[in-house]
Amino acid sequence: MGQRIGLDTVVREQGARTDGYLDFATKPDGSRFRIPIIIVKGRSEGPVLLADACTHGDEYEGAEAILRIARELETREFAGTFVGVPALNFEAFGAISRSSTTDGLNLNRIFPGNPDTYITQRLADAYVKRVVKYADFVITFHGGGDVLHLEPIVGYLPAEDEAGKLSRNMARAFGAGYTWRMQNLPFDGVSVQAYRNLYGTPSILPEVGSHCDRLHGRDRAVGICRNGILNVMTGLGMLSGAEPRPAEGLRDVELHYLHASNGGLQTLHKKENELVRKGEILGTITDVFGGEIEVLRAPYDGVVIGFWSVPVIRPGDWWYLFAKVLD
């Protein structure tokens, strides 16, 4: 089905690979709002796997992995079609910004979008109708961006239907240390929700990498994303080889976002992968005079997946990403 994704501009066509842009609006200076897309066709029939990154423009690890995989697949035998979108929110990608720079909207809160309102709404609408519609499976990469540290974790929407089971299998095959049952999301408009509701598309949402580990751990994070794509492709029968095994010690979790009530200088008392008992102190906040103004305690027995990594925190910011271990 990859050939049904129509590119408005083709910039390179060589062998099995085509690079180009999907355009969805004109700017005042005459240039275009656009989405860069890579299509690599396998040597035999098979499913269409779509992998995208930079829904949030400061989350780059998945983008680098998509570029690596596209290069590898040019000369590798596989079945089906790989569609890579390294910078879905292209404007935010260039601005190193989580949200869109044109209208300030968070792309991953407004899916499936709207063709008649703000530009980010139009981006979501065009992407869903012109790209996602033709995918059989989706991997949509996220990460901690420039303020959060996150341990590698792969989200999926739990359901007993075929799409739900396939999504869970993809999440387990990906190879991160945690799978995340996204059954209690505190917000709507997330891409994987729209893909399931519109098309029943099995989809996963890996969260890998952040500014905390970009200095020394960038290659490791990109490697997790790259290997995860290959593991999913193998599990789907697109690549030959043994079925990927779940990561050793894999934990299935339910993730909760714990917010700060006050602003100030925050101190982290628990770090990534720590098992914490209910009531233990996770973090504290002090004011500019050094006085303690907030203490965050674990609301249940759980494990630390991520945290706000910048010393200054503001009221309402995510402070800890804390998870219940389900199995």
pLDDT at 215: 81
pLDDT at 2: 43
Residue labelled with tokens 């945690």 = 178
Q: Considering Cα of 175, then 201, then 142, then 126, what sign does the dihedral take?
A: positive
pLDDT at 210: 87
Residues of the chain with pLDDT under 70: 1-3
Closest CA to 53 of 121, 141, 135: 141
CATH 2.40.50.100, applies to 256-325: yes
CATH 2.40.50.100 in the chain, residue ranges: 256-325
Residues 6+ apart with CB under 8 A from 227: 175
Question: What element of type H or E holds 200?
Answer: none
Cα distance between residue 223 and residue 69, in whole Å: 10
Cα distance between residue 116 and residue 103, in whole Å: 14
CATH 3.60.40.10, applies to 2-235: no
69 torsion bin: left (phi>0), alpha (psi -120 to 50), beta (else)? alpha
Which residues does residue 321 pair with via DSSP β-bridges, in sequence order?
257, 306
pLDDT at 1: 42
User: For the chain, what is the mean pLDDT?
Assistant: 95
pLDDT at 249: 85
pLDDT at 184: 85
pLDDT at 314: 98
292, 239 contact by CB (below 8 A): no
Closest CA to 312 of 276, 269, 262, 273: 262
Which residues does residue 32 pair with via DSSP β-bridges, in sequence order?
26
Taking CA atoms, 218 is separated from 64, 209, 221, in Å, by 10, 7, 5
Neighbours of 176 (CB within 10 A): 24
288, 270 contact by CB (below 8 A): no
Distance of CA 57 to the CA centre of its chain: 11
